[in-house]
Chains A and B, each alone.
Chain A
Amino acid sequence: EAGVTQFPSHSVIEKGQTVTLRCDPISGHDNLYWYRRVMGKEIKFLLHFVKESKQDESGMPNNRFLAERTGGTYSTLKVQPAELEDSGVYFCASSHRQGAWETQYFGPGTRLLVL
């Protein structure tokens, strides 16, 4: 069974540009999460999808960030326009069903550097 995949693995962009990160969850997983780790700090929750619906987006830093999950499959996280403080590692995770806690499986992350 394939794990959670993320693309690209690395991205270097200039301030003001747009970047789109993609996450493919494990097949059949209804829950999809985005997290971010700014250098040296904790991994912070951004948002949670259940299928194609946003269940909780309380962690999204501002309206420059837009997450979508078309058809309840893969998800994209767009940053537009990117700022220096957006640099960090963006992780995606997925889990099977809602309800009782289930293990979240993480992808390898996308390392974003905004210059």
Chain B
Amino acid sequence: AQSVTQLGSHVSVSEGALVLLRCNYSSSVPPYLFWYVQYPNQGLQLLLKYTTGATLVKGINGFEAEFKKSETSFHLTKPSAHMSDAAEYFCAVTPSGGYQKVTFGTGTKLQVIP
């Protein structure tokens, strides 16, 4: 069984400030972890993923996330927020090993204040 908890349904940051979106997961087997982003009126887009190897993962648009097994966390960060980052972000998990059913968190809406 697996689950995802995203802390904060809404996060506001100032333009240029650090973005930190929190995600904790629960999985009975080694997980694959993802962050998806949904811009208004668009589908979900994969931002980054962790499968194996390096625990610090870099994604598109300057985002990165670090897999911390001891903390069961996969927080998403970006050093400097841009207005175009305003969107809803979803953390997700799937068991490693090939089966692709994905479990999502409830989402975090990011607001960027000019």
Residue ranges of A at the interface with B (Cβ–Cβ < 8 Å): 3-4, 31, 33, 35, 40-45, 48, 56, 59, 91, 93, 95, 98-109
Closest to A107 in B: B43
Query: Do residues A42 and B106 form an inter-chain contact, with CB atoms below 8 A?
Result: yes
Q: Scoring B residues 80 to 92 as 1 if CB is less than 8 Å from chain A, else 0, what string do you get?
A: 0000000000100
Q: Is the interface of A mostly helix, strand, loop or mixed?
A: loop
Given contacts A91-B44, A106-B36, A108-B41, contact A98 B98 (CB under 8 A): yes
Query: Do residues A109 and B43 form an inter-chain contact, with CB atoms below 8 A?
Result: yes
B42 at the interface (CB under 8 A from A): yes
Query: Do residues B43 and A103 form an inter-chain contact, with CB atoms below 8 A?
Result: no
Query: Do residues A45 and B102 form an inter-chain contact, with CB atoms below 8 A?
Result: yes
B103 at the interface (CB under 8 A from A): yes
Q: Scoring B residues 38 to 75 as 1 if CB is less than 8 Å from chain A, else 0, what string do you get?
A: 00011111100101000000000000000000000000
B25 at the interface (CB under 8 A from A): no
Closest to B94 in A: A101
Query: Do residues B102 and A104 form an inter-chain contact, with CB atoms below 8 A?
Result: yes
A93–B103 Cα distance when bound, in Å, is 14
Query: Do residues A3 and B43 form an inter-chain contact, with CB atoms below 8 A?
Result: yes
Query: Do residues B45 and A42 form an inter-chain contact, with CB atoms below 8 A?
Result: no
Instruction: Quote the shortest CB–CB distance from A102 to chain B (angstroms).
Output: 7
Given contacts A98-B98, A101-B51, A101-B94, contact A42 B43 (CB under 8 A): no
A91–B105 Cα distance when bound, in Å, is 15
Query: Do residues B107 and A42 form an inter-chain contact, with CB atoms below 8 A?
Result: yes
Query: Do residues A91 and B43 form an inter-chain contact, with CB atoms below 8 A?
Result: yes
Closest to B4 in A: A42
Query: Do residues B104 and A103 form an inter-chain contact, with CB atoms below 8 A?
Result: no
A31–B102 Cα distance when bound, in Å, is 13
> Which residues of chain B are within 8 angstroms of A91 by Cβ–Cβ distance?
43-44
